[in-house]
Amino acid sequence: MIRQAIILAAGKGTRMKTETPKCAFPILKKPMIEYSIEALERAQVERIITVIGYKKEVFTTLLGNRVEYAYQEEMLGTGHAVMQASSLKHEDDSMTIIMPGDMPLIPAPLIDKLFRSHEEMGNDLTVVSMNIHDPKGYGRIERNEYNQVVGIIEERDCNDRQKQIKEVNSGTYIINTKLLFKVLPLIKKNTRSGEYYLTDIVKLMHQDYRVRTFIARSPEELIGINTLYQVSLAESYLRKLINKNMMELGVYMVNPDTITIGHNVVIEEGVTIYPNTTITGHTVVKSGAIIGPNTELEDAYIGNYSRVNHSLVYDSKVGEHTTVGPFAHIRSGANIGDHNRIGNFVEVKKTTTGDHTKAAHLSYIGDSTVGKNVNFGCGSITVNYDGVNKHQTTIGDDVFIGCNVNLIAPINISSEVFIAAGSTVTKDIPKGALAIARNKQVHKEDYYSHLIKPKHD
């Protein structure tokens, strides 16, 4: 059967106390709804409809055409939200998973298992439940004397006996799509809240259809996020799980409790990561690299046997056998070559460097194309901004740039050039030349004695 999904993401998430829609709030720097979508995609779900409402433009910008959209203009409950996804009903030979968009820890293997179990057991509706020690806040699974599922009772509607039930509703269901849109119109508005509850489909279906539960063995995978504290719990769970998997694959972590690795990061065996390091986005770290301590990588590529310590690398590439840091900042599409040294307090932005190029300390290199075997002296910078526009600097191979040199872009420095310390260069330099661009030193004799008045007793 065809696999489809409806993700419920229309709510604001009032308890989060942020302007960001709850399901777009980041978990380890990635919006929580992306975890669910990636899990569904890996579980071979062919069609995903996301029901959005509050700040819907956030989701359309974030997700683009990865999903289809349905809009819930009025917040009238989960049943009403699913009704907005009525375009799914045209797929008769299909089953649909309905899940909240605030469930970032659900893994793809579990979703696949849910679909297979639903189909193999011949269920019409599968309610994903879990047994937890403290069920407060959850809807309880109600069973009859034959252990058949007959309803889901919201906690505020539970009597004393029902409050003792430990099996609770996770908010996730799998249902045959054709039946879903046959039963949805039968849900009645709750007289107290004025909402349509999706949980009512159990009561409506249990007598005439095959309704069963799938009891999840790991309730933590089905945690829903409603508060910032629960965000921290989810991040803690993911951090430990990801770090454990990385270490089992041969990544050595010193004090892993202080190390944060994102969900989409790829780290090869033989990498060493030191404390207080954060690696997120679609970062790739190749074998033999050493990362940290006190380092942050986001959407970065770090080549084999390179070292990045006490530094930041964002949306950039670092080649092989290159040293970055301490206290370096590489960003905005920089591409650092092999055997480079980007040292103390050096910032590189939108720049490509060739092999064996060095900027050891106190430099800014922006909007530049730099060749191989180039040396930036201490304090040398590319002056790329004129107050209105950014301009390019091009530097050839085998160039020596002295200390405190200003290269005023746009400018072209040919190969085999020497630039004297303290120069402010405003013109292109031809191949093999020595450029000196500074005023002649002048001495004013007896300046001190004329400036400072003699002291009298």
Residue 59 counted as domain residue:
yes
Give the residue among 26, 21, 44, 42 at the shortest CA–CA distance from 238.
Answer: 26
Same domain, 292 and 188: no
Measured at the CA of 95, the angle between CA 91 and CA 97, to 5 degrees, comes to 120
Residue 456 counted as domain residue:
no
Structure tokens, 127: 């309610």
Same domain, 102 and 241: no
CB 105 within 8 A of CB 237: yes
Structural domain range at position 341: 228-435
Residue 232 counted as domain residue:
yes
Whichever domain contains 296, its CATH number is 2.160.10.10
Question: How many Cβ atoms sit within 10 Å of the Cβ of residue 74?
Answer: 10
Structure tokens, 414: 């040919």
Residue 132 φ then ψ, to 5°: -130, 150
Question: How many Cβ atoms sit within 10 Å of the Cβ of residue 282?
Answer: 15
Residue 257 counted as domain residue:
yes
Give the residue among 102, 97, 7, 4 at the shortest CA–CA distance from 52.
Answer: 7
Residue 375 counted as domain residue:
yes
Whichever domain contains 74, its CATH number is 3.90.550.10
Residue 449 counted as domain residue:
no
Same domain, 183 and 292: no
Pairing of strands 30-31, 26-27: antiparallel
Same domain, 218 and 305: no
Give residue-wise pLDDT tens across range 122-172.
999 999 999 999 898 899 999 998 899 999 998 888 898 999 999 999 999
Give the residue among 201, 27, 11, 176 at the shortest CA–CA distance from 97.
Answer: 176
Residue 122 counted as domain residue:
yes
Same domain, 146 and 215: yes
Residue 178 φ then ψ, to 5°: -60, -40
Same domain, 145 and 247: no
Instruction: Print pLDDT tens along the chain (457 aa).
Output: 899 999 999 988 888 989 999 999 999 999 999 999 999 999 999 999 999 999 999 999 999 999 999 999 999 999 999 999 987 766 678 999 999 999 999 999 999 999 999 999 999 999 999 999 989 889 999 999 889 999 999 888 889 899 999 999 999 999 999 999 999 999 999 888 889 999 999 999 998 999 999 999 999 999 999 999 999 999 999 999 999 999 999 999 999 999 999 999 999 999 999 999 999 999 999 999 999 999 999 999 999 999 999 999 999 999 999 999 999 999 999 999 999 999 999 999 999 999 999 999 999 999 999 999 999 999 999 999 999 999 999 999 999 999 999 999 999 999 999 999 999 999 999 999 999 999 888 888 888 887 776 555 5
Same domain, 168 and 262: no
User: Is 361 a catalytic site residue?
Assistant: yes
Same domain, 216 and 261: no
Same domain, 192 and 339: no
CB 165 within 8 A of CB 199: no
Residue 441 counted as domain residue:
no
Phi-psi category of residue 89: left, alpha or beta, with phi > 0 → left and psi -120 to 50 → alpha: alpha
352-380 as b/e, with b when 16 or more CB fall inside 10 Å?
bbbbbbbbbbbbbbbbbbbbbbbbbbbbb
Which of 206, 361, 443, 456 is catalytic? The answer is 361
Last residue of some domain: 222, 244, 265?
Answer: 222
Using CA atoms, how far residue 347 sits from 80, 297, 304, 363, 388, in Å, is 52, 15, 22, 6, 21
Last residue of some domain: 222, 245, 268?
Answer: 222
Same domain, 293 and 189: no
Last residue of some domain: 178, 201, 222?
Answer: 222
Query: Residue 208 burial by CB count (10 A; 0-12/13-18/19+): exposed, middle or buried?
Result: exposed
Same domain, 270 and 197: no
CB 103 within 8 A of CB 223: yes
What sign results for the dihedral spanned by CA atoms 335, 338, 340, 343? Answer: positive
Cα 338 from Cα 304, distance rounded (Å): 9
Q: What is the largest CA-CA distance in the chain?
A: 113
When divided into structural domains, the chain yields a total of 2
Start-to-end Cα distance in the chain: 105
Same domain, 158 and 298: no
DSSP 75: -
pTM of the model: 0.89
pLDDT of residue 454: 59
